[in-house]
Chains A and B, each alone.
Chain A
Amino acid sequence: MRFSILLFIILFAWHSPAKASEKVLDIQEIKSKSGIKAWLVEDKSLPIIALKFSFKGAGSIHDGIEKQGLAQLLSNTMDEGAGDIKSQEFQKILSDNSITLNFSAGRDNFGGQLKTLSRHKDIAFNLLKLSLTQPRFDEEPLERMRQANLARIRSSMGDPDWITARLMNDKAFEGRPYALNSGGTLESLPKITAKDLQSHVTNWLTQDRLMIGVMGDINKDDLVKLLDDVFGSLPPKGSTDNLSSFEIQNTGKIYLYPQEIPQTIISLALPSIDVHDPDYYALQVMNYIFGAGGFGSRLMEEIREKRGLTYGIYSDTTNLDYTDFFTINTSTKNNSVKQVLDIIISETDTIKTQKVSQEDLSNSKSYLIGSLPMSLTSTDKISSILLSLQLNNRPINYLDTYATNINTVTNEDILRVAKRIFNPEKMISVLVGKPEHIENTIKIETLPNVQ
């Protein structure tokens, strides 16, 4: 879920309310001759260039049940040889020149990153071009990556956190592509062929879906040339789909996957709102006060600080292309599961019936607005922000107006958005462990889409 991580970064805000003339980041929007667009922040302080790119809507959502794991296997294999250069030789050039080039598949998007010392930029961009336009998909590396994925699945099968996430995806997204195992299954991975990988590239890695963020030691003119060279020959358009938005499924149900462990993993989810919803900023503030803020958040205060019932509890919002949801994750010893769940529900009641205090409101804004510089401390972080702003269809001055948008949130807004989110009958619960005193659970004996 790379997308949600990127999104989380932008939710932090910056240093001080920006003056009209003052920009948080000096972002240049550039367009190459062949029409490739990118957002660039130039910075010469280190001899490093970081480029992140994504093909929107080209992720594992298109895998299908028979070929689960296709986009992920593609991401593992695209840097294993291209053009005339075979896998080991390709990796050797990357490693000899200290170039990081890799691809990643999210549920929605398929992307990648290139990070290089500026002295190796020509080699680096050329390897990126080759891997995007002439990936080899030779049998040897494909088989090697397939085996690595199978071993990863076998290793994860006993991990209670992994089991929890798998079960939550399966039930919350039931009937939709998101419910499938984007990491593949023991049966699906062997069915994926080099031809499947090539079709995914041809159908989905197209210019109309491409978004790019660049940070570091490169100027506009050089970048424009490199963009044309690397991305200019990709097909302008490819396949389309007709997926539609939905609300998370199986709400009101409690799923239990029994495991002989001393601590139960608890994962809860509720339907949430879109990034362009008018209540989006109110949700960020509410979420911070409720459970995203770590120490000082209501969940952490009540469950960890006052009662010592957990090591950590966090809430979060996730926005996928076709659904939005609010999550609460924690773990506690088996005989305190009921107590923890009761406190969580009681906190949702409190925040949707009682206005938050002015102090809570101003402290949370102060954090959300004050902490943006922390997400601007490396070329990686900045290039990620440049990309995620584009993926979320934000204007280029989004960061400059963020403080104002957060500052306008009132405690009435928070009450309203808390009422929109926290409807107990809309909550889906997943428990993994041996929880005591929990009734009306639906027991899951076999984890779906793993074997």
Chain B
Amino acid sequence: MDKEKTVKYIMLTIMEGLGPVFDNSILNICGDITACFSISDEDILQCAAKSIIAKRKVKAFLDQRNDRFIRDSAEEILSRADASGIDIVTYEDIRYPERFKGLLDVPVLLYVKGRLRINEYVDSVGIVGARRCTQEGKEKSIITAEKTVKNNSAIISGMAKGIDSYAHTAAIKGNGYTIAVLGSGADICYPKEHEKLYEEIIKTGCVLSEYPPGITPKNFYFPMRNRLIAALSDKLFVIDAGRNSGTRSTIESGERYGREIEVVA
């Protein structure tokens, strides 16, 4: 994939006031990323008028697409990603998850550290749950993950404390494939006691994030991260989660995407 295209994808994702829903729509309208930046303002406005996206957002896009500052930031992100060994997997990439196709609010670009091989797996299973889990929760998480590995399915989780960490650990111990979706840049390990786990996940599986490298975790990134866990999984196992926990947002996204959800008890 040529550098210019990647830079344009990054520009699209970092523009202010525009989210993944807009990114997906504009790509649809224009056809591909190069077109997004080459078609004249009038033509884009005309096409967009027929679609659901707000005119205000199209204008914001047109204002920013030739912005020098946005371009510089995008190039900086690209060089930073290169420096920290992060792959940028875009919408056009063969590694871009098939499971994202047809979903409106998934990112058009992913920052990946490790090997993203989700498309090679027929089945993918998300295991999510409480960070402050019980001893039983821990065992359930491990057993579920071990079963999943035996079925030759990928394990998706969020590398958070508790259930998530046990799911990843069991996947790695069982030589399974596991993906950790992070609520920070893919080069940042959070929480920090998972440093070893993070390194091991990268060796055999991957960590991915929709946030550019160097972005530190923020509380409102995690519900966003949760929707990606749901989008990547065919089936979600929920363990030990409280009524108003963050896991709830994973489940809601899962329902929206039509994923199978099972509460392990």
The answer to whether A and B belong to the same complex is no
Chain A interfacial positions (CB closer than 8 Å to B): none
